[in-house]
Structure formats: structure tokens, C-alpha cells
Structure 1
Amino acid sequence: MLSYLWNQLIRSGGVFVRTIRAFFTRRLTGVTARVRRATNFSRNATRMATASVQSAVSVAQGPTRREDYVETSRLLISKALLLKIFLGVIAAGLILYFLVWPFVLSNFFTARFVVGDGRISSWSGRVVVYADAGKTQPLYAGRLENGVLQGRGEEYDENGLLAYEGWFQDGMRAGNGTAYEDGVMVYSGQFVAGAYEGTGTAYADGRMVYTGQFVAGVYEGRGKLYEDGALQYEGSFQDGTASGSGTAYYASGTVSYSGQFHNGLPEGTGTAYDEDGQVLYTGGFAAGAYHGSGTLYLPEGGTLEAEFADGDPQGVVRWNRDGRLYYEGGWNGAQSSGFGTLYSQSGAVLYAGQLSGGTLDGNWLLGLTATQLRAALGEDNTRNVSNADGFLIVSDALGLAALCSYQTQAEESQVYAVYLFQPEEEWIRLLPGMERVSLPTWPEDTESWSGQLRFQPPTGVALEAGTYHGQVFSTSESRATILYASGEESVSLLLEWTRLGALPDDGMDGVSDGSSAGGDGRLEAFLEILDLLETNGAGTQATQNPYYGTAPVASALSACQSLEQANRLIEAMLDYWEQSERQSALEENLTRTQALLEEARAAQSMGQGDAGAVADLEAEEAALQGEIQSCITQRKKAEVQAKAVADVTPASYALEELLLFFDPTQQDVSQLAQVAVAYAQSAGQTVDANAVTAQVKTELIDLAEADVHIQSALSAYQSAAASVRTAAGEFAMGRGSKTAWYEALSAQADARAELCAALAAFTSRANTLNQTTGGWVSRTFAWYDDILSPLFQSAAEEAVGSPSVGGSPFAA
């Protein structure tokens, strides 16, 4: 039974196959033709879909005729069924080929190729491409789209080590990914067109070195740079280096710099800090160094404002301490150097001059005059102090004392020694060992010595006498001495510069501050050397006037034969003496005026003078010459009178011997009247006592008035002499001008001439009283009594023998 069924099934199958073959043979011929005409499956997709729909409709209707079946020997098979089976097989094949197989291949299978395989260029799907035929060294892996990597994938180096993992676009790294070198991560972040671009992190030796923005593979934009795992820089980058605004850090994490950068170095405006966070500098930078305008913050406190170049201050700097300007001037390295100005806490100038090594330039100071030194120290900041060798200019605020020689007409006052010590206030710091102060730089030929020194400070130097540890440096022109409190050469107590060679020998043995001139022996001697004290300016004493001599006046009076001759000769000689003294004073003034005029003209010729000053001096010169000519005329007139009276030449005699002075207010008018009456009566005259008394009283009043003139002239002369002393002292110490000194001398000469005129007037009036009282003045004050008394006696005797015509003025 089973065998029969199997045979029937075999025969039915054969019939079915033959039927199908016959059926499809006819139809496949047409299909083949249509397939051959078709050039693209997509062109016929619509037609196939339509045919499929029509077939489906036909099948759905079912067979209705015998012709709708395929007849076999024993079976009728529906043609629609056969078509459905065929179409199902075709559809299943298409689905498997175009949908199922690509999906499975792309997602569950990976194609493996060797580089150079022709299929790679058009392949789509997951692949691994190897560098060797044995497929042991991969080059890249991922998904290909028409031979181009797209999406997530990996790249490997020639050693088969992972070089990149991440996303690809059109065969290039794009999007997020991680790059490796020798299997070690070097970058993680965003890629564009195969290069680092966007936000990412770079690594070196496994450590992060940068995180931030990239452009075309280099640092660009904002980012953070690390070194040994510590943040080194945070800010802007350009072309792979720090550029723009940013902040640099120390390894400890504290800020080292904040500001502008260029090519990895500070450039532009910024602020530098130390590791403790203290500001070091703020201002301009160039190539990592201080450059341009900036402020340097000093370790000991204070700031330095300057123009910087290559990290160092250049030109003029401004050094501020405690918020106040301390120094303004030149700078070298870390110290004040060159010309500069030191200021007090109140802002006053304490010093304007040369500095070296952070302190005053002693050798420069030794080359100054006293006037120049005062200008450097500020006139209001100094005082003068007496010293056995000269005088000291002292600046207490600066802690400086300078020993100076006295000024003479031949040489200005010079600085011979400079002492620098610590002032009472610690604002000024100029001693070696203090902040930013070092020992001066000595010439190569300098000889040095150190040891114990006994120091006796001059007056004005704030340092006690005693033994100190010291250093001495000697050159061919100067010597410097530095004193320390102990053997440790740390902060010094005193720095002294001394010019080699003794001060000029001026013959003086004392000293005085010019403000107290007049009571000091040394300055007194100095004034005598300068021909100021009781001189006529020509270097001789007042009694040695060139217009009269030294012969005694008594010898001239002895030549008189009568009292009248003697009286007339006395008056002529007094006039001659007064004019001689006045002419001498005028000539002194003329000499000084001409000297000043010559200097003024010389200054004007060099473009430094004042035309008005020259004109004033020329006018003064002309006036003095006119007054001198008047004195010459008056002297000549007095000389003629003396010659006519007694044939005497006044120029030969010591005329000052004639001068007489007493206090007229102490004389008894009644007694003098009695003396006058007695003398008149002895001459045989009848007198009116009242008239005599009135005459004597009048003459005493005239004498008292002359005495007042003498006292006034003497006071004026003493005041002028004191002014001369002050002006001379100022000039000697370099504080006053020659013009002021000469003006004081001229005023003194004028005062001396007025005093001489007052003395001559008093003597003349005393001589008149002497005549009225019959020689009482001569007898009382021993005024040529031995010569005049005999003449009075002779006059009385002659009057008795021959009364005078007209009678006595005292007649009743």
C-alpha cells in the first residue's frame, strides 16, 4: 500500500514538474526577452508592482474554467496556485537579497579585507581592513558607505596599535573621538576633517596637558594648560600658544601672572605675583619681561614707578615709600644711581644731586662749592655749625654734614669732607647695609684697610665719639671711611668722604655761624683779612688815609703867630680832613662799583646779564665820580686857606689828631660863663654877664646838637659794620653774593664818612667855645693847651694895650 502511494506520488510529481516546465517554458521565453530589454531594475519596479497586483486579483478570484488548471494524468493543478507559488518565491528572494541579507551582513557580520582589495572602494557595511595578507595588522575598522568610513570606527598605526577611536565622516575623523600614539591616549574631544577642533583635552605621557578649544589641530580660543598635572595657564590661545588675556600659575596653584599674553609669554598689560600672592609688578610686558610703563613692588615695601626695558627700570624712576614719593631720578639695577632727588615725608626736597650705589655720590659732593652744596640740599634745609677747620653745612633731615673752607675773593668756599649718618627720623636710608644701599664702587687703584678706629665726630654729626670697627678706602684724590657698631660689617653707622690735602690756611683760629657774626674771634680775624673792620677798603687802616700824612698837627700849629691864625688853621685842617675821608670812602665805593660793573658787562656779553643792572651801575659810577671831583675841589680850597694862614700844607699832617670829643651836657653853664667873663675882663673889656651867659649857653647847645649827630652817625656806622660782618660771613660760607657784600661795604664807607663829618663839626664848635672861654676847652681836655694857651695870653695882653675896634661883643 505504502509502495503504491509512493509510486503514485512520484508519478504525480513527475507530471507536476513536466507540467510546470511546459507552462513556464512558454512564459519564461517572454520574460527573458523582457529582462534582456530591461537595463535597470528600478525602471520596471512600477510595472512589476502592477502585474503583481493584477496577478493577485486574478488569483483571488479563483479558477472558474478548465483552462485555469494545468491538467496532468491524474491531477488538475490551478494555474493561479502555481503563479502564487512562483511569485512568492521571487518575492522571498528579493526580500532576502535586498533587505534581510544587507541587514544581517551590516549588523551581524563584518567583512574583512586586505588593503588594496578592489571591493573596498564600493563596499558598504562593517569592515576590518588589514595591512597584511595574513590579516593580523588592522589598519581601520568601522562601517563603510560606498567604500568610505562613516559613523563610529577605529584606526590603527603601523604596529597595529589603536590610533583613533570615535566618529568618522566621509572617511575623516569628525565628531567626538580619542586619538592615541603608540597606544597611549594623546587627545580626547572633538574632531573636524581629521584634526582636533572644538572642545577637547590633550595628553602627554598619559597626563593631561591641555583642555579647552582647538582649531585645525592647535590650541585656539579659551583653554587650560597643565604641567606635571598642575594648572599652568588658563586663558586665551592663538596658534597653539597662550595669546590674549589669561592667567599663569605657579606649581603650587597660586597665580603668578594675570594679564595679556603673546606667543606664550606675558606681553601687553598685566600683573605679576610671587608665590605668596603678593604683587611683584603691574604694567607693561614684552616677551615675558617688564617693558613699558609699570610699577615694581619692592620686597621691603614701597613701589617703583618707571619705564622698563628688558625687565629693568630705565631713565627716571619714582620710588614711593609708605604711599609717599621718596626718590625720583636715575636707577641702575636695584639701586638709585645718577642724578636724582630725595624727598621728605612732607614732600619737601632734601637732596637733588648725584647718587651711586643707592647712596649719595661722595666724590661728586667733594667737587662742589658751598653754594652748589646748599643748592643740592635746599637752602631752607641747612644750618651752619662752627668748626675748628672751617664751617659745617648740616642737613639734619638728610643726616649729612659737610666741612667747607671759607670763601675768599680769590676762591669760593669748597667742600672738603662729607659725613653721612642716620638722621633722627628713619625715613631717609642712605647708609651702606640698608635696603638697596651698597658700598660705593672703588677705582682699581683703591687701597683698603679695616680695623678699629677712634672717631671724634665734628659738631653737627649725630654720632658719639668712640672706637668703632671701620673700613678705609683710599684713592689718589680722596678717602672714604665706613664705621660699624661692631666687627660685623652689616648696617653702617657713618660714611665719610674726605678730600686729600689740608684746608687752605686762612690764618684764622675760630669759626662762627654767619648768623652770629661779630662776637667770634675767628670771623673777626677773617674780616680783618678781608679789609673790612675799621678799614678804608684799600687794605690800610682809616688813619692811613692817602690824602694826609703822619706829621704831628702840633708842629703846624706852632707856626701860628696869633690866636686868629691858629683858629683859622684849625678850621682849614678840619675841612681838609673831612673832605679827605669823604673822598676816600667815595673812591672805595667807586672801586667796588667798577668791579661789579665789569662783571655785569661780562655776564651781559655772554647773554646772562641784565641790561638794567648794567645801566644802574654805570649811573652810580658817574655819580660817584662827580662827588669825588667835588671833594677834590673842597680839599684844594682848604689847602689854599691853610697855606695862606700859616704857609702849612695839610696833606703832610696826621689830621685826625685834631679831633676832640667830650660830653657837652655834663658842663656847668654858669662856671663857663664866669670863665668867659673873666677872660674878657682880662683883655680889658667891659662885659655884660647876661650876654656872656647866653653866648656860652648857645655854644653848648650847638655842641650838644653836634654830639647827637655823632651818636647817630656812630650808631649808623656800627649797624653798617655789623651788616658788613654778616654779609662777609655769608659770602665766606658761600651763602651770600659778592654784590650784597660790596653793597654792605659801600654803606659802611658812607657811614664812616658821615661819622667823620660829625666829628669834624663837633671839633669846630668845640674850638668856637674854646675861643669864647679863653682856652678853657684846651686846658680842660689837654687839646693843644701848650700851644694855644700862650696865644690866648698874648691876645689878651694885646687887647689891653690896643682895644679892638668896635669893642667886645660882651660890652655893656
Structure 2
Amino acid sequence: MMDKIISILKYIVNVAKASLIRPFRKMFMEIRKKLMVKTAVGKFVRGFMTKVGAYLAGKPSSLKDYFGFKRYWIAKKLVLFIIIIIVCLPFAYSKWLKPYLMGKLWIPTFVINEDNFALYKGKAKLVTKGRYMIYNGDVEEGNCTGTGFLYDYDGNLVYMGEFLLNEYSGFGELYHKNGKLKYKGQFLANTYNGEGTLYSETGEIIYKGNFANGQYDGNGTLYADSGKVLYEGEFSKGRYHGNGMLYNDQGNLLYKGQFYQGVYEGQGELYYLNGVRAYSGQFHQGVYEGQGELYYLNGARAYSGQLFRGFFHGEGTIFTEEDKMKYKGNFKNGIFSGIGTLYSDMEKEIFTGYIKNDTIDYFAYLGETVDEIKKAFLAENEVIMGLVEFYQYYHDFGSIFTFSYAIEDEPPKLKSILFFEGNNPLNIDRDVSLEELEHSFGECTKQRYKSLTEKEFFVLSKIQKDPEQLYIRSFKLDDYELTLYYEEKSDSSYLFYEVGREVNENIPREAEEYIEEYTDEYDYSDFDIEYIDESDLD
């Protein structure tokens, strides 16, 4: 049992001895390699080192291998070993210990492009030839790699954070020249890349979110100069792209929905400054197009339907302030156009038929029978029977319809429509001169003074006017006759005007023909909106 213990102890001592001697033997071998030259000196050194190595490897065998010192005996090999360590210590220090301690116990300073800088690894200060420090941090093989501080030639901090091969890469902070923080977040190859926050020179936040290649990309929030949120949502290549919410400088929501390359595209909602929704529906190239709902501020009117280039176009519905339906039907270029239905403020249908230029296409009904007129004009009316014709007064439309009486099998037909000032389909200016009229409608064909017809007396009674004299002019307008009624001979203003034609000249049009006329101009298939995905950008 004792023999085994002694054997184990000897083994442990030999292992410890070998571990202690091995580094120095390796050092001797490296020195020997460096001194291996084909000279007598080289051979001498090589032989000397061999002998020393062999001498150190052996065990002391007699008293000749010891020094006597008072009562102590010191092995000569130990003395030689200590001498070799002392001689080799400077070399070991410069080779291994100094590089290891540099950057830990003290930070060395290097000049830009200095030769030994390329071999250094650790913390260092980098200065110009004029001794201006421009970098303080980790370096590796001549490159700024790790964590450090970058300065300009005036000593102002430019960047602090992570570096890779002399470039901002990783998390860091970039600063304005005035010392204010410019950007805080992730970098890649000197550009904003990843999550970060961008600031102005005065310290206000500009943007917070994701970046790619230095641009806003992904989810983020853009701020106005006032500090209020300007946009919140998705970005692509620095522009609004995807789902987002747009605000004004005061922080009021303006738009919520989809964007494509910075403009409204796809499904979205537009808002007034007071927060009331103005439009909800589809957009194309920044304007209303397709199915949607449009609302007017303070109850002027609201719309639900299709739009094109920011205007009503296609099927839609108009509402009053209380969301009561005002119009339902087709829109074109922002106005009512096609077949549609108008409603009163009591949500009763008052008209179903042809719509043109944002109003009823009255002229399409000239020459139609009284039954067709009743199908289209559903509002309540007052009927006045005249001697040679009869009239229907529609208060909701501000107009009076004139019908011929039936002749044998011919039913009554619409001869003319007289419009009050509130209803002006031709958009004739209230104050208009004869020269302006003739420029617009050609030479005056008829004119007369106060001799009023029974219809004119009827009209004046409805608008509560009793002029001293009535001045009348008529013009030929294509196959229509346009008659304007003036309150004074001086032509200062008109009271109403009338458009009519002889019923025997009229050729009624079928609804299909009318629809075709208003739809041939546009290919409605082009108005189908599909949101474009970011992958389609390229």
C-alpha cells in the first residue's frame, strides 16, 4: 500500500516538474530557431543551447552539482535555471507580457498609419501626426473593431459605440456638431440599419423605428417640428408604404389606411381637422377611386361610394349631416353622373333616373311622356292647368315642367323646364350682359317685354316676385331653345330661365342608350383597386 502511494506521489512530482520546465524549454527552442544561422556563431550557440538543455534535463548526481552556502546546499542547475530566466525575462516581456498588459494596465497611443499599429490588438488611442486624438477604443490588426469613441479634428465627439473594420456597426450613438445627439440605435456599414431614433440639431425627435440602408424602412413613427406625431406606420425606402396613420402638425389625424410609395393607395380613411371622418374607402395614386364613403363637414353632405381621381365615380350614396341618404347611384370625375336616386331630407325618394354634371339631367327628359316623368320625378308636385298646356311645380327641384295636352292617341309630353335661381343646370351667371350671352349662346333670336303668359304669372307667384317690367330674351341652343327672364330691362339680373324644344322633334332615348353614352368614355374595369404589396416594388 505504501509503495503505491509513493509511486503516485512521484508521478505527481514528475508531471509538475515537466509542466514547469516545458514553457522554458519551448522558449529555448524558439530562441534556438531564431539563432540558427550557417555561421560558426550559430553553430556555437546551437551547441551551447543543446548542452544547456541536456544539463538541465538531468538530475544532480553528486555534491559537485551543488553550491554550499552556510548550512544550505543549492543545486547548480537551479542557479543556472534562474540565470536563464533573468536573461530571457525581457524577451518574454516584450513578446508576450507587454502586449497582454497593454490596454489593461495602460492604453497605448498610436499615430495614424504607424507600422506597429497594424500588429496591435486591444484598447488604444489613435492620434494624427499633429497629436490630435481621433479615436479611443478597441483595435484589432490596425482596424477600429469593438467599442470606441470617434472624434473630429476639433475634439468634438462624433460617434460612440460599436465598430467593425473602421465602420459603425452594431449599437451606437451619432452626434451633431453642436454636441446634441443625432442618432441612437443600430448601425451597419456606417448607415442606420435596424431599430433606432433620429434627432434634430435642437434635440427634438424626428423619427423612431426601423431603418434599412440609412432610410426609414419597416415600422416607425415620424414626428413634426412641433413634436407631435406626423406619421405612424410602415415605411419603405424612406416613404410611407403599407398601413399607417398620417397627422398634421397639431397632431390631428388626417388619414388612416394604406400607402404606396408615399401616397394614399388601397383602403383608407380621410379626416377633417375636427376629427370627423371625411372619407372612408379606396384610394389610387393619392386620390379617391373605387368604392368609398365621403362625408362633408358640418353636414353639408356625405358620400358613400366609388371615386376616381378624388371625385365621385361609380356607385355611391350621398347623406346629410344625420347620415340620411341624399344620393345613391353612379359618380364620374367627382360628380353625380349616370343612373342614380336622390332623396329628400326625410329620406324619401324624390328622383330616380339620369344624373349628369352633379345634378339631374333635365334635358334628357324633354319630349318624354308624362308617365315617364312620373316614374323619374317622385317628389310631390303641384299641377296647374292652363288653356293650351299644363304645368307641374316641383318645389324640391326649383323648377316648373310644361306639358302639352294629349292629342288623339299621343300622351302628354314634356315641352320645357323652367328653372328658378336656386336651380341652375347651365351655370349661367346671375349678372350677365347681352354680349356675354351672345358669346356663349349665339345671337339672340327673340326678345320681348312685359307681356306675360299664364305660365310666367304662375312662376312669378311661386317666387313671390312682382317686377314692374319683365325683359325676355331667347337663344337657339343646339336643338333646344333657351329663354332668360330678366327683372329689369337694364339686364342687371335674371329671375329664371327656361329650356325647351318642340315635342314632335324629340326622339326619346332608352335608358340603355343613355347608360352607354356615359360609360363608353371610361373602362370601369380599370378602376378595380388591388393593394400592391412591398414585394412588387421592384
Is the structural similarity TM-score above 0.5?
yes
1:263 matched to which residue of 2? 261
Q: Deviations over 1:288-316 (max 9, x none)?
A: 22222111112352422232222112234
Distance 1:179 1:83 in 2: 59
Distance 1:469 1:34 in 2: 131
1:201 matched to which residue of 2? 197
Residues 1:126 and 2:123 are matched in the alignment? yes
Shift of 1:142: 2.3
What letter is aligned with 1:431?
G
> Which secondary structure does the structure 2 equivalent of 1:466 belong to?
coil
What letter is aligned with 1:176?
F
Distance 2:142 2:471 in 1: 91
1:390 matched to which residue of 2? 389
Task: Give the 5 Å matches for 1:642-653.
Answer: none
Distance 1:469 1:299 in 2: 42
> Which secondary structure does the structure 1 equivalent of 2:440 belong to?
coil
Distance 2:113 2:470 in 1: 92
2:162 matched to which residue of 1? 167
Task: Give the 5 Å matches for 1:228-307.
Answer: 228=225, 229-301=227-299, 302-307=301-306
Distance 1:471 1:252 in 2: 55
1:258 touches 1:272 (CA, 8 Å); kept in 2? yes
2:314 touches 2:332 (CA, 8 Å); kept in 1? no
Distance 1:210 1:471 in 2: 68
Distance 1:31 1:419 in 2: 118
Distance 1:370 1:31 in 2: 120
Residues 1:190 and 2:186 are matched in the alignment? yes
Shift in alpha-carbon separation, 1:495–1:324, aligned structure 2, 3 A:
farther
1:152 matched to which residue of 2? 147
Distance 1:295 1:57 in 2: 102
Distance 2:373 2:27 in 1: 126
Q: Deviations over 1:534-553 (max 9, x none)?
A: xxxxxxxxxxxxxxxxxxxx
Measured on the aligned residues, the alpha-carbon RMSD in Å equals 5.1
Distance 1:406 1:168 in 2: 95
2:392 touches 2:401 (CA, 8 Å); kept in 1? yes
2:319 matched to which residue of 1? 320
Distance 1:230 1:464 in 2: 56
Distance 1:416 1:32 in 2: 121
Q: Which of 397, 422, 426 is the matching residue for 1:431?
A: 422
1:317 touches 1:330 (CA, 8 Å); kept in 2? yes
Shift in alpha-carbon separation, 1:104–1:468, aligned structure 2, 3 A:
farther
Distance 2:486 2:318 in 1: 26
1:359 touches 1:432 (CA, 8 Å); kept in 2? no
> Which secondary structure does the structure 1 equivalent of 2:458 belong to?
coil
Task: Give the 5 Å matches for 1:329-728.
Answer: 329-331=329-331, 335-337=335-337, 340-344=340-344, 349-355=349-355, 358-361=358-361, 363-378=363-378, 384-395=383-394, 400-409=399-408, 413-420=412-419, 431-432=422-423, 439-440=427-428, 444-445=440-441, 457-458=457-458, 462-467=462-467, 474-476=474-476, 477-481=481-485, 495-497=496-498, 499=500
Distance 2:161 2:27 in 1: 49
What letter is aligned with 1:268?
G
319-328 vs 280-289, which moves further: 319-328
2:460 touches 2:466 (CA, 8 Å); kept in 1? no
Shift of 1:326: 2.5
2:223 matched to which residue of 1? 226
Shift of 1:457: 4.2
Shift in alpha-carbon separation, 1:160–1:471, aligned structure 2, 3 A:
farther
1:282 touches 1:294 (CA, 8 Å); kept in 2? yes
Distance 2:151 2:247 in 1: 37
Shift of 1:149: 2.4
1:669 matched to which residue of 2? none
What letter is aligned with 2:124?
V
Shift of 1:124: 1.6
2:302 touches 2:318 (CA, 8 Å); kept in 1? yes
1:472 touches 1:481 (CA, 8 Å); kept in 2? yes
Shift of 1:158: 8.1
Shift of 1:213: 1.5
Distance 2:374 2:229 in 1: 58
Q: Deviations over 1:723-743 (max 9, x none)?
A: xxxxxxxxxxxxxxxxxxxxx
Shift of 1:140: 4.0
Q: Deviations over 1:457-510 (max 9, x none)?
A: 4289744353499997753321144889xxx99xx9x74425499x99xxxxxx
1:404 touches 1:417 (CA, 8 Å); kept in 2? yes
Distance 2:212 2:68 in 1: 75
2:43 matched to which residue of 1? none
> Which secondary structure does the structure 1 equivalent of 2:199 belong to?
strand
What letter is aligned with 1:146?
E
Identity score, percent: 25
> Which secondary structure does the structure 2 equivalent of 1:251 belong to?
coil
Distance 2:155 2:59 in 1: 62
2:523 matched to which residue of 1? none
> Which secondary structure does the structure 1 equivalent of 2:464 belong to?
coil
> Which secondary structure does the structure 1 equivalent of 2:441 belong to?
coil
What letter is aligned with 2:283?
F
Q: Which of 203, 208, 212 is the matching residue for 1:211?
A: 208
Distance 1:183 1:439 in 2: 61
1:311 matched to which residue of 2? 310
What letter is aligned with 2:231?
Y
Shift of 1:284: 0.9
Distance 2:153 2:270 in 1: 47
Distance 2:105 2:212 in 1: 38
Distance 1:458 1:67 in 2: 149
Distance 1:414 1:344 in 2: 26
1:785 matched to which residue of 2? none
Shift of 1:194: 4.0
What letter is aligned with 1:439?
N
2:388 touches 2:405 (CA, 8 Å); kept in 1? no
Shift in alpha-carbon separation, 1:220–1:282, aligned structure 2, 3 A:
same
Distance 1:279 1:392 in 2: 43
What letter is aligned with 1:385?
I
Shift of 1:113: 3.6
Distance 1:453 1:58 in 2: 151
> Which secondary structure does the structure 1 equivalent of 2:384 belong to?
strand
Distance 1:176 1:472 in 2: 83
Shift in alpha-carbon separation, 1:183–1:366, aligned structure 2, 3 A:
same
Q: Deviations over 1:509-555 (max 9, x none)?
A: xxxxxxxxxxxxxxxxxxxxxxxxxxxxxxxxxxxxxxxxxxxxxxx
Shift in alpha-carbon separation, 1:399–1:194, aligned structure 2, 3 A:
closer
Q: Which has the larger radius of gyration?
A: 1
Q: Deviations over 1:728-772 (max 9, x none)?
A: xxxxxxxxxxxxxxxxxxxxxxxxxxxxxxxxxxxxxxxxxxxxx
Residues 1:178 and 2:173 are matched in the alignment? yes
The answer to which structure has the higher helix fraction is 1
Shift in alpha-carbon separation, 1:309–1:377, aligned structure 2, 3 A:
closer
- TM-score w.r.t. length of structure 1: 0.45
Question: Any stretches of 5+ residues in structure 1 without a counterpart?
Answer: 1-29, 41-47, 422-429, 505-812
How many residue pairs are counted as aligned between the two chains? 437
Shift in alpha-carbon separation, 1:280–1:468, aligned structure 2, 3 A:
farther
Shift of 1:169: 3.6
